[in-house]
Amino acid sequence: MVAPRVFRPAARLLSSRLSTPLRPAFTQTACAPSILRARGYASEAISGVKEVTVRDALNEALAEELEANQKTFILGEEVAQYNGAYKVTRGLLDRFGEKRVIDTPITEAGFCGIAVGAALAGLHPICEFMTFNFAMQAIDQIINSAAKTHYMSGGIQPCNVTFRGPNGFAAGVAAQHSQDYSAWYGSIPGLKVVSPWSSEDAKGLLKAAIRDPNPVVVLENELMYGQAFPMSEAAQKNDFVIPIGKAKIERPGSDLTIVSVSRCVGQSLAAASELKQKFGVDAEVINLRSIKPLDVETIIASLKKTGRLMVVESGYPMYGVASEIMALSMEYGFDYLTAPAARVTGAEVPTPYAQGLEDMAFPQNDTIVKQAAKILRL
Amino acid sequence: MLFRTVARQAAPLRRQAFAPITRRSVTTDAASAHAENIPKEDDKPFTVRLSDESFETYELDPPPYTLETTKKELKQMYHDMVSIRRMEMAADRLYKEKKIRGFCHLSTGQEAVAVGIEHAINRMDKIITAYRCHGFALMRGGTVKSIIGELLGRREGIAYGKGGSMHMFAENFYGGNGIVGAQVPVGAGLAFAQQYNEQPNTSIILYGDGASNQGQVFEAFNMAKLWNLPALFGCENNKYGMGTSAARSSALTEYYKRGQYIPGIKVNGMDVLATKAAVQYGKNYAISGNGPLVFEYVTYRYGGHSMSDPGTTYRSREEIQRMRSTNDPIAGLKQKMLEWGVTSEEELKGIDKEARAYVDAEVSEAEQMVAPENSSRNLFEDIYVRGSEPKWMRGRTVDETFYY
């Protein structure tokens, strides 16, 4: 078994490589204060930590990156005058003007292709999809034009483009507007894929994505946009970036490793509290943050500690993110497992409209608790 | 669709979309032009009068039927076309010798398009095309050696042996794209960047008559017009999309009218001078802030769609023979140059010989290149920009995982 090999050069490379800025540090002086910064919070004066919604964190990230780099612009449906279908781009048109905040017609393949072309020509476009469901119209451009060109050109033609928008299931919008594309994009070499959960994740990962010289897909979650999270003082600064490819242990624990991503991180944390309350067990919850590259070391290190692995995500079960992590646990962590690894995923069904049925199609807190209890034989 | 309710009222079209135009047919006769009083000096400009069948336009005043050129330029154009043809013939041979793998699409017969365009623009203008790209790669500054090296999968190839026949890149040349039609919005993005950066340049965006029916071509037209991008869309109409003739694939085979609200020019793509004149005119039109144009380069491919296609099941041998003998772009230019007294038979033979010797030498150098080492480093390099790679990429097994 060659399992431990994964630990070999990784830690060293991580510190040396991912912390290096990928392009010259931008000037942070003379920025007009972001629309968020102008707003006051009661807690701000006390601790420096403030409550920020995921939506506002994304908005702040966009505003800071547009401010910092003239090559950056955002285009997409309703991003400018309408202020964003989900208001993520609110205020950006007023602040940066129509040259850099661009409403497109409803032509995903077309405007995605234009974003890719502009990136090939040296600009740093941010291409917003109203939802990733619509990006399927443009997935050829994302995969064949954006992700593969650098390799196909022998490394002479980079493509610094960011694709972003809400992903995953939403509430009561039925099958065509409710699915998770993590596995789709996560399987493509040449792409990087991140999926934030909290406001800090959202800001740090989106900024990292925009700065990364490769095509990056940022899979946000519509249901999280309105949720507020505390944001540290460091995260409020305009140099806050989260390295792509590094997971975060949201809750340390010793009995079970729960690997999760995006909205399911919150559910997993709730489930972990319940497990502690009901059974006195300590689950470790890992927030993946990055789908590709995947932080295998953090997962395996945790698995080594707890001996048990459960993956919680809301994509389809077949050939998905959970499947991949479980396969990796076989390859790198088999000797440490004391129970079969398990997964909680979306059900293998097109998303139904009726609420009760929809609830059955996606992981709920009690689904997670039940599955965890089963692994732990509680 | 969610949130997509109110479409804003479209701006009224400036012109009537299908105004009747004078019907003339663009000739593909490569030798129909005229010039007098040719100066002695090689680089002294003189005026060529183009055949009045060189263009047809749609919602657009035709380009001038005259072209300023020099003896030197004409000879260079001739040299370029001969070089492309010689290179394509070398590719043909190497493919048949099984040294070139996969798909290989040759542009024999279509040389005047690549050469005419290049002579109309400068190095800061951008070009993107589909998979029939060898000639464009050469014109954009690729060497014969690097192009043939690429076809052979060598590291000295223009894309380090990673792209092959369909994916060649150079400065301001954006491929070499394999997904039919996908390069058209990408090309509009290149024009977008030129506008964004306020550059006085244009993007030449090429696609075939087959690709012209792809939906995203029209998406790109729409945004290019809406945003007034300096984009010169160009359908290289070689009459067949693989084996399907234009008439069997397209409800409207007048591809230069396909832009509907975008003016168009149909040009004799077998005449390198007409092509240059049209593109030069188009470039000035686009960079003067008039927005995009849709070109149709009427051309013909002598070979099959790709190397596996004999090219004879969907068209007659007579048709191919007729085009070769009466419309050949190289023979056409040659005839004109002789007629006008630009050069002598002897000098042309010299150019021919020189071009062939140059290509042959480069090809044989390419053939001497050794196959790349089958190392993990060679396999996994350049998936991501250097310095920004993940820590590793997985091989076929865990053991083959490659660490950057």
Q: Which residues make Cβ contacts (< 8 Å) with residue B136, sequence separation at least 6?
A: B114, B117, B118, B127, B129, B173, B206
Match 């022998």 to its residue by tokens: A154
For B239-264, what is each residue's pLDDT tens digit?
Answer: 999 999 999 999 999 999 999 999 99
pLDDT for the residue numbered A16: 38
CATH topology of domain B36-238+251-302+315-372: Rossmann fold (3.40.50)
Which pLDDT band, with edges at 50, 70 and 90, does B32 fall under?
A: low
**A243: cis peptide before it, omega within 30°?**
no
Same domain, A176 and A261: no
Structural domain boundaries of chain B? 36-238+251-302+315-372, 375-404
Number of structural domains found in chain A = 2
Residue A45 counted as domain residue: no
Catalytic residue, chosen from A64, A67, A77, A108, is A108
Rounded CA-CA distance A238/A30 in Å is: 12
For B303-335, what is each residue's pLDDT tens digit?
Answer: 999 999 999 999 999 999 999 999 999 999 999
Q: Which residues of B touch A2 (CB under 8 A)?
A: 398-399
Q: What is the mean pLDDT of residues B390-400?
A: 96
ipTM: 0.91
A158 touches chain B (CB under 8 A): yes
Same domain, A255 and A356: yes
Which pLDDT band, with edges at 50, 70 and 90, does B25 fall under?
A: low
Same domain, A187 and A312: no
Pairing state between β B33-35 and B240-241:
unpaired
pLDDT for the residue numbered A137: 96
Residue A205 counted as domain residue: yes
Same domain, A165 and A205: yes
For B341-360, what is each residue's pLDDT tens digit?
Answer: 999 999 999 999 999 999 99
Rounded CA-CA distance B351/B347 in Å is: 6
Host domain of residue A83:
51-236
Our CA-based measurement puts residue A364 at a distance from the nearest CA of chain B, in whole angstroms, of 25
Q: Count the neighbouring beta carbons within 10 Å of the beta carbon of residue A349.
A: 12
Query: DSSP readout, B325-366?
Result: HHS-HHHHHHHHHHHTTSS-HHHHHHHHHHHHHHHHHHHHHH
Question: Is the CB of residue B54 less than 8 Å from the CB of residue B112?
Answer: no
* Lowest-pLDDT range of A231-245, B10-24, B189-203: B10-24
In this complex, which of B7, B158, B189 lies closest to A116 when CB atoms are compared?
B189
> Residue A141 and residue B182: Cβ atoms within 8 Å?
yes
Sign of the Cα torsion A151, A155, A156, A157 reads positive
Q: Which residues of B touch A14 (CB under 8 A)?
A: 391
A108 belongs to the catalytic site: yes
* pLDDT beneath 50, residues of chain A: 1-44
Same domain, A91 and A116: yes
pLDDT for the residue numbered B17: 42
Residue A44 counted as domain residue: no
Question: Is the CB of residue B337 less than 8 Å from the CB of residue B351?
Answer: no
pLDDT for the residue numbered A38: 42
pLDDT for the residue numbered B26: 73
pLDDT for the residue numbered A20: 40
> Residue A73 and residue B177: Cβ atoms within 8 Å?
no
Beta partners for residue A251, in sequence order: A285
Strands (E), A161-281: 162-167, 192-194, 216-221, 228-231, 248-251, 256-260
A150 belongs to the catalytic site: no
Our CA-based measurement puts residue A20 at a distance from the nearest CA of chain B, in whole angstroms, of 9
pTM metric for this prediction: 0.90
Residue A7 counted as domain residue: no
What is residue B246's DSSP assignment? H
Same domain, A253 and A232: no
For A92-105, what is each residue's pLDDT tens digit?
Answer: 999 999 999 999 99
Which pLDDT band, with edges at 50, 70 and 90, does B8 fall under?
A: very low
Which pLDDT band, with edges at 50, 70 and 90, does B18 fall under?
A: very low
Q: Of the residues A236, A259, A287, which one is the last residue of a structural domain?
A: A236
* Lowest-pLDDT range of A44-53, B37-46, B217-226: A44-53
Rounded CA-CA distance B235/B256 in Å is: 8
What is residue A26's DSSP assignment? P
Which pLDDT band, with edges at 50, 70 and 90, does B11 fall under?
A: very low
Chain center to CA of A243: 12
Same domain, A275 and A154: no
Q: Which residue of A has its CA nearest to B160?
A: A154
What is residue B312's DSSP assignment? -
pLDDT for the residue numbered A46: 52
| Listed residue (B195, B257, B181, B267) closest to B224, CA to CA | B195
pLDDT for the residue numbered B29: 73
For B110-165, what is each residue's pLDDT tens digit?
Answer: 999 999 999 999 999 999 999 999 999 999 999 999 999 999 999 999 999 999 99
